Amino acid sequence: MRGIDTQVRKNRRRIFKEVAHLAYHSENLKDDIEALPYKIVDYDESEYESIYRDRAIVRERIRLAMGLSLRPENVPVHLTQGLEESNISEKYYEPPLMQVIPSACNACPENSYYVTNRCMGCVAHPCREVCPRDAISMVNGKSVIDPEKCIRCGKCKSVCPYDAIAHQVRPCAGACGVNAIKNDEKGRAVIDNDLCVSCGQCMVNCPFGAIADKSQIFQLIRALQTGEQIIAQVAPAFAGQFGPDVTPDMLKTALKELGFYDVYETAMGADLGALAEAEHYATEVATGKLPFSLTSCCPSWSVLAKKFFPETIDKISNALTPMVATARIIKQEHPDAKVVFIGPCASKKLEASRRTIRSDVDFVITFEELTGIFEARGILLKEIQALDEMNGATGAGRGYGVAGGVANAIEECVKEYYPDVEVHIEHAESLSECKKMLMLAKAGKKNGCLIEGMACPGGCVAGAGTNIAIPAAAKAVAAFKEAASSRIPDRSYNAPADETK
Q: Is the dihedral of CA 22, 25, 31, 32 positive or negative?
A: negative
As a whole number of angstroms, the distance between CA 196 and CA 199 comes to 8
What is the predicted pLDDT for the residue at 501? 37
As a whole number of angstroms, the distance between CA 348 and CA 360 comes to 13
In sequence order, what are the residues at sequence separation of 6 or more whose Cβ sits closer than 8 angstroms to the Cβ of residue 146?
Answer: 135, 136, 137
What is the predicted pLDDT for the residue at 499? 45
Distances (CA, A) of 168 to 1, 110, 139, 311: 17, 8, 22, 35
- pTM comes to 0.92
What is the predicted pLDDT for the residue at 240? 96
What is the predicted pLDDT for the residue at 4? 84
Task: Extract the residue ranges of the chain whose pLDDT is less than 70.
Answer: 1, 43-48, 355-357, 493-501
In sequence order, what are the residues at sequence separation of 6 or more whose Cβ sits closer than 8 angstroms to the Cβ of residue 259?
Answer: 224, 225, 230
Phi/psi at 19 (5° precision) = -65, -40
As a whole number of angstroms, the distance between CA 139 and CA 129 comes to 16
Phi/psi at 115 (5° precision) = -90, 130
Please, which residues bridge with residue 365 across strands?
A: 342
The DSSP result for 13-80, as a single string, is HHHHHHHHHHHHH-SSHHHHHHHHHHHHS-TT--SSS-HHHHHHHHHHHHHHHTTPPPPPSSS---TT
The per-residue b/e assignment along 65-82, b for 16 or more CB within 10 angstroms, e otherwise, is bbbbbbbeeeeeeebbeb
What's the pLDDT tens digit per position in 62-103?
A: 999 999 999 988 888 999 998 888 877 777 777 888 999 999
